[in-house]
Amino acid sequence: MRVHHLRCGTMCPFARRLITGEGGLLERGELVCHVLLVEAPGGLVLVDTGFGTDDLRDPATRLGPVRHLLQPTYAPAETARAQIEALGLDPADVRHIVLTHLDLDHAGGLSDFPAARVHLLADEQGAALAPPTAAERSRYRSAQWAHGPDWRPYAPKGEPWKGFACVRDLDGLPPEILLVPLTGHTRGHAAVAVETEGGWLLHCGDAYFFRGDVAPRPWCPPGLRLFQRASAWDWERMVENQARLRELRSAAPDVQLFSAHDPVELAALAARARAA
Ligand SMILES: [Zn+2]
């Protein structure tokens, strides 16, 4: 299975030094939306979607007030749909989308692929479609799934994978793609593992935001740390999961893990995939 690492959105929040750990306070930081495009035997598979065409057309409705904090660049060429076309592939061949969670910077592209099956943890679908708390009511943007996706929700039970529980057998997907429940950022957040010829890729979504979070001596720029904490549904669980990811990183060199938002990780993995 060929895997492409796509940048399906760029966000440039204020105070670069507090977000990236370098540069000035008056400069803009840079966060990306790291999306995987998998050329699987039965069609194309996306892992997360980043921002979509409709988000760019109507950011006020689709993204809401938080867009002023995130400062997306709204680049039409960065949507998954545009990049799939640029690769000479057909967006209609996207049969499956596997989601880490339904926050607006991950789910915006769903409506560009209305025929795809959308795989996610049932708790995440529940939190987004019928939010149990005020915080969850304000974080999700129902306009992003007003088209009525073909949802495939899963209970978080399954078999072990590298010391984590996982859900394999996703409806219609090969066994090389699996959901790894990692709740904390949201109620039903998951990582997505993809087995390739070069080993496993683990898309950690927003289980961590900065490559230093999973370094042997963890460190994260203070502004980004604050944002991680403020946006977490369960911060303690998120901290526990970051410790487990650090252990995985040292114990399993065949697993390449990455965050949805770290531009340095995305650049390195995209270059490696192009060279392969
Ligand atoms: Zn995110």
Average pLDDT over residues 104-129: 98
How remote is the CA of residue 175 from the centroid of ligand 1, in Å?
26
Average pLDDT over residues 253-266: 97
The pLDDT of residue 26 is above 90: no
Of 169, 177, 184, the C-alpha closest to 123 is 184
The pLDDT of residue 52 is above 90: yes
Its pTM stands at: 0.97
How remote is the CA of residue 180 from the centroid of ligand 1, in Å?
17
Average pLDDT over residues 194-223: 96
Burial of 125 (0-12, 13-18, 19+ CB in 10 A): buried
Average pLDDT over residues 264-269: 98
Tell me the C-alpha distance between 236 and 249, whole Å.
20
The tens digit of pLDDT for each residue in 142-170 reads: 999 999 999 999 998 888 999 999 998 89
How remote is the CA of residue 188 from the centroid of ligand 1, in Å?
14
How remote is the CA of residue 12 from the centroid of ligand 1, in Å?
13
How remote is the CA of residue 260 from the centroid of ligand 1, in Å?
6
Tell me the C-alpha distance between 235 and 87, whole Å.
39
Which CATH number does the domain housing residue 31 bear?
3.60.15.10
Angle at 245 between CA 239 and CA 248, to 5 degrees: 150
The token duo for 108 is 């915006």
| Average pLDDT over all residues of the chain | 96
How remote is the CA of residue 103 from the centroid of ligand 1, in Å?
6
Average pLDDT over residues 201-207: 98
> What residue has token string 């060279």?
275
Note the pLDDT of residue 21. 87
Note the pLDDT of residue 56. 97
Q: Which domain holds residue 201?
A: 2-275
Note the pLDDT of residue 19. 87
Tell me the C-alpha distance between 49 and 80, whole Å.
6
In total, how many domains does the chain have?
1
